[in-house]
Amino acid sequence: MKKIILSSTCAALALTLASCGGNAGKAKTAGNDSAAETKAAPAVPEYTVLNNPTVDLSTYPKDKDGYYVIFDGKTFNGWRGYGKDKVPSRWTIDDGAIKFNGSGGGEAQTGDGGDLIFAHKFKNFELELEWKVSKGGNSGILYLAQEVATTKDGKQQIEPIYISSPEYQVLDNENHPDAKLGVDGNRKSASLYDMIPAVPQNAKPYGEWNKAKIMVYKGTVVHGQNDKNVVEYHLWTPQWTEMLENSKFSPEKWPLAFELLNNCGGDNHEGYIGFQDHGDDVWFRNIRVKILD
């Protein structure tokens, strides 16, 4: 495996969203003198971390609590599509909220969709916002994300945002089947997706606004939902590695995701905040960030 850091402007990106199956490669086997074979972990494919232009956070207003207001309720100033140089057309502004207008295709993202990011890399921070989903809706809040590309058949393609980023699950728990998958509810709202369930599970029904909080400080991460802390964990520790090994992002199932998430935030432990296109209607508003450095 070879990692490349590529400096590029967004306008130069001509990237196609990868399928959700990832780019894990094929498992290899090795023989010994007795002709017995054992499986080796799949190789991590060569990948590129794109180093695209970012916005100057100091140009954004601060509220009375010392948070930067990164969405003004009227414009997409500072926002763009993940791996793109503009906001995809399925993302709109609706009554003071960012709205994704669902395609109904689940994770099969269309050319006018895709994930949305705020173009600044955060390290130690507290993010607060409100969200709501449509009936049966599914989305996610991503953080410490990188823009990662691989090459297949001579063509560069962007990999899904969630293979480099922990995900705060956004879900209609009552009507989306993902709530019943995973282990002990670790795919329900506000959970660390597929790893740690949110406890207590206090999400409001679809169509109602929920409060979300994500704090990242020197590796400690806390998820909050509706004024309750519901998840706490610690990045870059043996426990973090073990959780990844027991998830869908294990080195056997998805070696590229395992490598990126195990070193979440890259060498500088910083990355983008993003919202997921999962094919369903979802809204985000009152988005603000406090820097904790």
CA-angle at 235, arms to 284 and 161, nearest 5° = 45
pLDDT (tens digit per residue) in 165-221: 999 999 999 999 999 998 999 999 999 999 999 999 999 999 999 999 999 999 999
Region 247-266: what's the mean pLDDT? 95
Contact of 186 with 196, CB cutoff 8 Å: yes
**What single letter denotes the amino acid at residue 261?**
L
94-126 pLDDT, tens per residue? 999 999 999 777 665 667 989 999 999 999 999
- What is the mean predicted confidence (pLDDT) over 56-74? 97
- CATH numbers and ranges of domains, the chain: 3-25+43-291 (2.60.120.560)
Weakest mean pLDDT among 54-58, 123-127, 148-152, 237-241:
148-152
Average pLDDT over residues 248-276: 96
Do 82 and 117 form a contact (C-beta atoms < 8 A)? yes
Residues 273 and 90 sit within 8 Å (Cβ to Cβ): no
pLDDT at position 34, please?
A: 42
- Residue of higher predicted confidence among 216 and 34: 216
SS3 readout for the chain? CCEEEEECCHHHCCCEECCCCCCCCCCCEEECCCCCEEECCCCCCCEEEEECCCCCHHHCCECCCCCEECCCCCCCCCEEECCCCCCCCCEEEECCEEEECCCCCCCCCCCCCCCEEEEEEECCEEEEEEEEECCCCEEEEEEEECCEEEEECCEEEECCHHHCCCEEEEECCCCCHHHHCCCCCCCCCCCECCCECCCCCCCCCCCCCEEEEEEEECCEEEEEECCEEEEEEECCCHHHHHHHHCCCCCCCCCHHHHHHHHCCCCCCCCEEEEECCCCCCEEEEEEEEEECC
Crossing angle between the packed helical segments 255-262 and 238-245, to the nearest 10 degrees: 160
Res 18: pLDDT: 36
Whether pLDDT at 29 is above 90: no
Identify whether the C-beta of residue 189 lies closer than 8 Å to the C-beta of residue 225.
yes
Task: State the Cα–Cα distance between residues 197 and 186, nearest whole angstrom.
Answer: 4
CB-count burial class (<10 Å; 0-12, 13-18, 19+) for 145: buried
pLDDT, averaged across the chain: 88
Pull the structure tokens for residue 181.
């998958």
What is the pLDDT at residue 39?
63
Mean pLDDT of 24-48: 58
